[in-house]
Amino acid sequence: MMGGKIWFDSEYKMGSTFNFTVKVKISNKKSVSERIDEKDQLLEQAKNSLKGAKILLVEDNLVNQKVAQKILKLNDISVVIANNGKEAIELVDAEEFDGVLMDCMMPEMDGYSATEAIRKRNHLAKLPIVAMTANAMKHDIDHVLEVGMNDHIAKPINPETMLITMAKWFKKSD
């Protein structure tokens, strides 16, 4: 069916060799190793561009705070933590950040409301805000974008995806 042949050579008590040929089309798609190399390069560029950046991490869960903080600090990224949306608004009003990682579901003020409030402040209208949430359905991602966040990172956090996504939006201040 594939325009090939199959045959074998066998020798008693020595073993067998099986052979086949098939006709295949050459693919324009990149090989797995080429895609891995590209991702490695992209990750390295992301790490370099984020080195020295100052990030606001808005997260109410202590375990998630520790995981994200560890990833960021290992990559020479300065981290300030807010436990909810209200704290986030106070911090972005008081300090300069290169970007915000925003949990969406938090007590007192969720990430959606906090983002909408931040976007109403003219001097913060372009501050990059990336959602970090376990809600990863298409309608959840659409909602994140509708309220003014720039992008979405799904939990549990994949460090490579996190850094590459951050680098698309966060530019280190000079």
Do the Cβ atoms of 132 and 166 come closer than 8 Å? Answer: no
- Rounded to an integer, what distance in angstroms lies between the CA atom of residue 152 and that of residue 134? 10
Number of structural domains in the chain: 1
- CA-derived radius of gyration, the chain: 24
Q: Is residue 83 part of a domain?
A: yes
Specify if 23 maps to a domain.
no
Instruction: Identify whether 3 is part of a domain.
Output: no
Q: Is residue 25 part of a domain?
A: no
Name the band, by pLDDT with cuts 50, 70 and 90, for residue 83: very high
Residue 82: give the domain boundaries: 32-169
pLDDT at 128: 97
CATH number (domain holding residue 154): 3.40.50.2300
For residue range 112-132, what is the model confidence (pLDDT) as tens digits? 999 999 999 988 989 999 999
Residues β-bridged to residue 100: 56, 129
pLDDT digits (tens, 9 = 90+) for 11-36: 999 899 999 898 887 777 777 777 77
